[in-house]
Amino acid sequence: MKPVNKKPVLLMVSLLALSLLACNLPYGIGLSKTGAGARLAQGPNATLAPTNTATATRYPTLTPTSSPQPTATATLVVQPTDTPTAVSGATGVSAQVGGDPTQIAQAATATAAESTATATPRPPVAGTAEVIINGDFEDAWPDWQPVANGWTAFDNGQAHIGWYKDTWTKVVFDGGQAQLIEIINDLGAGDRYAGIYQTVDVVAGAEYTLVIHGLVRSDEGSEGLSGGGYVLQYGLDYAGGTDWQTITDWVTLPFPEHPRQDPNADNVYNYSTHSITIRPGGARLTLFIRAWKKWPDTFEGNFDVDGVSLRGTGAYPTATFTPTPTVEQPAPSATATLAPEMPASGGEIEAGQPSRAIYIITILSLLILAAGAIWGVIKRNV
């Protein structure tokens, strides 16, 4: 038998030692591991200290957006008014809610921090009671008295002019009496006027309804025959004056002419009605009603006035009540911002561990090499 070569044997033993060392590397060189692996590396009797593992918690960071408190403004608009404008202030209620953005938004929406109401007071209202005195001309009226009670006569002369109590039922609008004004321009002057007026107390700035009933009669009997020579008009002095010649805006009542007389008792006389809403600017108002005969001739004109009325409407004059709450700024908002996640601290960072398959493959490879080496030695020595 040949002597055994010791070199292959030493090589095989070295390879086996290296294999065992490689298998034990992850657990035997100064690195610790929790669990069973740590016990194997440090010995079976090693005592494991508890390991503290920190857990990162993400808290939202609220960043409120700074903005002025919303302001609500309510406006009361009245058109138009002759009275001074008064301004009154009202303070609203403010609420502060912290923390929850939803509560902040709800509180800002429901309640304005400060609310200022600027209001123009509504115009005054006049009652619906009759203001004109003896506007139906039914008060006691002696035959010798030319003008009905409560009224005053006026004229510009240079004509035969008269005022009478008219009781002819065909030319009375309502009741048994009407005011009759008569004009005959037989003195050579045209444009003769005669009329009546009355001054009454009113509520400044309030609305009133003025109603006038009238009847125009002439010897000619129609506008076509007279050339529109007989006209009934009215005028208003909003300061309560009594001079009819200061009125510049006389209103012509579009009343047709009728025959002055009815010899055959077959004429039909229809009163005309004029109605208008007015708004006095002061506490006194004068109503003038005048008859106008244009042409200088001997024809006679008769003007009957009845059913004159001035009553308050009992309503606010063309008032418009408009609450306009406006929010100038949106409600304060809160924006949640997540802080960056912090790394875990206070624990032990573990070393990387090779997979189990790598160990198995390494051991198998070394065993194969060792087996091959042994097989070669044996074969050479046989």
Claim to verify: residue 334 and residue 273 sit in the same structural domain: no
On whether residue 302 sits in a domain, the answer given is yes
Claim to verify: residue 177 and residue 273 sit in the same structural domain: yes
Beta strands, E only, 90-207: 114-119, 152-155, 160-166, 178-184, 192-201
On whether residue 359 sits in a domain, the answer given is yes
Claim to verify: residue 108 and residue 244 sit in the same structural domain: no
Claim to verify: residue 205 and residue 330 sit in the same structural domain: no
Global pTM reads 0.55
Which tens digit of pLDDT belongs to each residue from 329-382?
A: 344 444 444 444 444 444 444 444 555 666 677 677 777 777 776 766 666 665
Q: How many domains does the chain have?
A: 3
Q: Is 158 left (phi over 0), alpha (psi -120 to 50) or beta?
A: left
| Whole-number Å distance between alpha carbons of 183 and 298 | 10
| Whole-number Å distance between alpha carbons of 19 and 13 | 10
Claim to verify: residue 40 and residue 78 sit in the same structural domain: no
Cβ-count burial of 187 within 10 angstroms (0-12 exposed, 13-18 middle, 19+ buried)?
A: exposed
What pLDDT sits at residue 74? 46
On whether residue 382 sits in a domain, the answer given is no
Question: What pLDDT tens digit does each residue of the chain (382 aa) get?
Answer: 555 556 665 666 666 666 655 555 544 444 444 444 444 344 445 444 444 544 544 544 445 455 555 554 444 444 444 444 443 333 333 344 445 656 655 655 555 444 445 566 777 888 899 999 999 999 999 999 999 999 999 999 999 999 999 999 999 999 999 999 999 999 999 999 999 999 999 999 999 999 999 999 999 999 999 999 999 999 999 999 999 999 999 999 999 999 999 999 999 999 999 999 999 999 999 999 999 999 999 999 999 999 999 999 988 876 543 333 333 334 444 444 444 444 444 444 444 455 566 667 767 777 777 777 676 666 666 5
On whether residue 114 sits in a domain, the answer given is yes
Tell which of 312, 328, 361 closes a domain. 312
Claim to verify: residue 77 and residue 217 sit in the same structural domain: no
On whether residue 137 sits in a domain, the answer given is no
At 329, which helix (H) or strand (E)? none
**Cβ atoms of residues 58 and 338 within 8 Å:** yes
Claim to verify: residue 79 and residue 190 sit in the same structural domain: no
Q: Is 44 left (phi over 0), alpha (psi -120 to 50) or beta?
A: alpha
On whether residue 27 sits in a domain, the answer given is yes
Claim to verify: residue 334 and residue 301 sit in the same structural domain: no
Claim to verify: residue 325 and residue 356 sit in the same structural domain: no
Range of the domain at 358: 6-52+346-375
Q: What CATH number does the domain containing 217 carry?
A: 2.60.120.260
Claim to verify: residue 257 and residue 358 sit in the same structural domain: no
Residue linked to tokens 């005048």: 290
Residue linked to tokens 């506007």: 135
- Amino acid in the structure at residue 99: G
Claim to verify: residue 162 and residue 287 sit in the same structural domain: yes
**Cβ atoms of residues 270 and 170 within 8 Å:** no
**Cβ atoms of residues 249 and 322 within 8 Å:** no
On whether residue 128 sits in a domain, the answer given is no
**Cβ atoms of residues 209 and 135 within 8 Å:** no
On whether residue 79 sits in a domain, the answer given is yes
User: How far out from the chain centre does Cα 250 lie?
Assistant: 42
Claim to verify: residue 23 and residue 67 sit in the same structural domain: no
